[in-house]
Each structure stands twice: as structure tokens, then as C-alpha cells.
Amino acid sequence: MARSTAAFGGWSREELISRIVQLEKTSTTKRVEASDDARSTNAFDASAYPRRKIALKFTYHGAHYSGLEYQVLPSSLPTVEGVLFDALVRHRLIDPLGGLQGCGWEKCGRTDKGVSAAAQVVSLWVRSALGERKQQREVTEENVTEENLSPEAESSQQSPADDQLEGDLAMMGDWDEPPTNAALEKPAETTSEIPYVSKINRALPPTIRILAWSPVSDDFSARFSCRWRHYKYFFHPRGLDISAMQDAALRLIGEHDFRNLCRVDASKQLTSFNRRILSASIDPVEEDPNLYVLNLRGTAFLYNQVRHIMAVLFLVGTRLEQPSVIAALLNPDADNPRAPSREGEPQPPVVSCKPFYEMADPFPLVLWDTGYDEDAVSWQVDHKADAEVTPSTHPNSSDNVHDTMQAFLERSEIHTALDAHFLRAAAKYHRPSPQYFPIRGEGVAPVQKNSVLAVPLGGGRTYRRGGEYTPLLLRERNLPVEEINSRWRLGKGAKRLERKAASVTEAE
């Protein structure tokens, strides 16, 4: 700063400005090169970090998503897996280039659009803070810090033009030197793992919350290691015979062929539809005595199985069907007929193909719980106990899953109160439709000829049937499963194989 400026005494104003512009261009070029170098160097390299396999337990509100499963084609709403994957990528817990397959992604159970979960589980490989990290880069001639340069090397890098400058202008040649990126020191070893729960939740919308995580073995599978799944379907009992529904639900317990109580997914090419139901019951909801819930626990479930079961239970509850219809729908094999479910009942008819009927609404359905062996998982959170959660340990209120869920509940209760008042306002001017269900129920009007029946589908939805009701076993039937599978193989399946073969040929 004390250098003489006499050397510039003979420079004209234009010459000084020209020199400043030249230096600014050089400085800008250095900044751009440095920025590009920083971006390439700081790109996330998943292979440079230790990894571990974990399981994540999480909840989501299905009304906001196009189902759990990631979809290649655009959908009207995001998928839960897509949003969760993006959150993991944002915090550099997985390699975005590898996709779901690259991190060994497996899910416990698939849920469709509108269906929720309180204990969904996925297993995958993620970045870990435990273990040694690979050395990032070696020092090269192009990648050195200013501290590593000797005085001779530093002076040799000085521009010849800079030697002609003195005073403040001479210092301009040192402005905006590109940031260096020498080999980083190995980070200190740590015994603390990444706070997976709070970290991932920060990148998720409040309609998806990570509840806990667990370290798992390398061969753990969220799908195949699961011992049972527990589904709940909530419904209003208005117009329903709860005791008849309970009778029908009990007939589901055991191992049965459920091909008539599911949707056949031909792309899976299933030939066996046997599934084991461990427990089934219709119970009052503890938190709301005005509601009931189907509790259904089984080892595994077929596509849309719970919604089909609930649709038939609604028909039983309205007394349009008898509880024994369950036994008939579970009797598809004439060569191996099932016995009556109750003593004194006749032999159930064989129903080899599924009758046409509409399945129940997805909104009230939730995957409530999932079961694993005790030694397979050890669920944990970022804080050992609620007592440890203080403003200092939990500065971000969005990290507190309980507070988020409580806020949702309070808002839902306000919605319920508002809807109740809207109904009261409408009741001053409009009368309800005649109530025909349950048929022959006390205080229920008899079904008149040409009456329109509003058959419940759950979630406040109904489908309206005019004229005489057609029993399930007298309705038109779907194609046999074998024919459905065969048609898919010859149609969509064949086209899919052609596309795969073409893509393999192009890759070669």
C-alpha cells in the first residue's frame, strides 16, 4: 500500500482505464474457472462414503398422493416413493443416478392412490457417518493450496504484466484468486450416526413423516422379512347391521383362496391366490365412538384385497347379502370344495370366477402396522426419550413428529365441526333421503318398488342402484384367472417384452 505511484505518472486516463478493464476480464475468467472447478469437485460421489443398510418406518396421508409406488409416467399427484426418494437425494443419503434399484429399495406393502399408512416400511442402503471415508483427491500440480506454494513458486506464477504495476494497481493482479481444492483431511472418526429421522423429515412435506429408523442386516428385506400386515378400514355405522358384518368378517380368518375378493393384476402373472388372515374383527373406534373399524391382520395381501372385502361387508351390513356369501366367494375350486363356515348352514356354492361389484373407497383405508422378528429390527429415533427433547436439542419445531401430527388432528377436528354446522344449516331447508338400510331394520322404511338404493362404499361415498337388487352370486362373472393371464401375455406382455428386447439391442 506504501508503494510509489510515480510509475503511472505518464499514463493517460484512457490507458489506465484500459488496464483496469483487462484486469477485470482476467479476474472474471478466474472466477468462472474456479466456479466450474468447485462444482465438479463438490459433486456428490456416493462411493466415497461408507454405507449401511437401514429400514425406515414412516406415515403418509394417501389423499395427497397417487399411491405409494414410484411411477415412470406423469401422474396427477406425486407418489410417496418419489417424494421420499427426492428427500433422500437432497440430503445426499443415496446416489440419485442409481435410482431405487441402485440403493436396494424394497417396500413392505404397496398402497394405491388415496390409501394411507401409519407404519409403512422400506429398506435401503444409505450414506453413513460411521466407518472410514475414502481419500477424496490427491494433491496435483493443478490442485494445490496457496499455503502449499513456496515463495519461489508463488513469484513464478505472477503475471509479467503485473510487474509493471505499483501501488494499489499492483495489488489488483491478486484479486479473486480461484478457490483451492486440495486433498481434504480425513474427517475425525465419529460414534454418532446421521440423525436420519429429523434430517429426512426436513426435506419432506408434513403429509409424510419418518417415524423411526433401524439398522438391519444386509439380507433384510422390508417385504419378505415382514411377518404380518395390519390394515384398518374406518366407516360410519349408519344404516348398517354391525353384528352381521362381524359374523362375515370372522369367516375370513384362516388360509383361503381370495381370487374373488381382489383385483387380478395380470402383469404379475399370479397363479396362486391363497393368503392367510390371522385376525378379523369389526370394532368401535376408541377415539370416536361414532365410528367403527375393520381390523384385518394377515401375512400378506393381494391387490385391492382389503377394499374388495370391505365392499362385500358393506353389502352384508345393509342386509342385501347374508354373511354366508363370504364362504361362497372363498370357494372357487370345484375339485376342492370348502365346508360350511357355520354348523347348520348348507354347502356353499362354487364361485370359480369373480362376480362384478364395485370395491370400497380408498380414503378410509390405512396400513396401520407391520410386524418383524424382534431380532430383525431395532427401531430408534434421534432422541432417546421425549424428556430429552428441549429447545436446545430440538430447535426446529418441524422436527417434532408428534407436534406435526397433533396439528393435523386439531385441524381435522375443526373441519369436522365446520361440516357438522354446514349440515345443520342445510337441515333447515332440506330433508334427508328415505333410509332403507339395514333392510328390515327397526325404524327403517320398507323398500318400495322402483326405489333407488344408495349402497355405501365407505368414506361417505355410495353407488346408487335403481330397481331390484341383483345378489352377488347371480351377477355376471369376470373371466377365469387363467384366461386373464393368457390375454395379458399375448397382448401387453408381448409388447413389453418387445420393448425390452429393443432396448437391449440398442444398448449393445
Active-site amino acid positions: 112
Q: Are 309 and 261 in contact (CB under 8 A)?
A: yes
> Among candidates 283, 198, 296, which has minimal Cα distance to 246?
283
How many of the other CB atoms lie within 10 Å of CB of 316? 23
Paired sense of beta strands 116-127 and 365-371, if any: parallel
The secondary structure of 364-390 as a DSSP string is TEEEEEEE--TTT---B-SSS-GGG--
Query: For 333-364, b where at least 16 C-beta lie within 10 A, e where not — what string?
Result: eeeeebeebeeeeeebeebebbbebebbbbbb
| Phi, psi angle pair for 190, to nearest 5° | -130, 150
Q: List C-alpha distances in Å: 213 to 10, 51, 238, 404.
A: 73, 15, 40, 18
Q: List C-alpha distances in Å: 275 to 235, 256, 279, 330, 352.
A: 24, 6, 12, 11, 17
- As a whole number of angstroms, the distance between CA 12 and CA 113 comes to 75
Alpha helices in 49-182 (DSSP H): 80-90, 99-102, 151-156, 167-171
> Among candidates 317, 331, 322, 328, which has minimal Cα distance to 360?
317
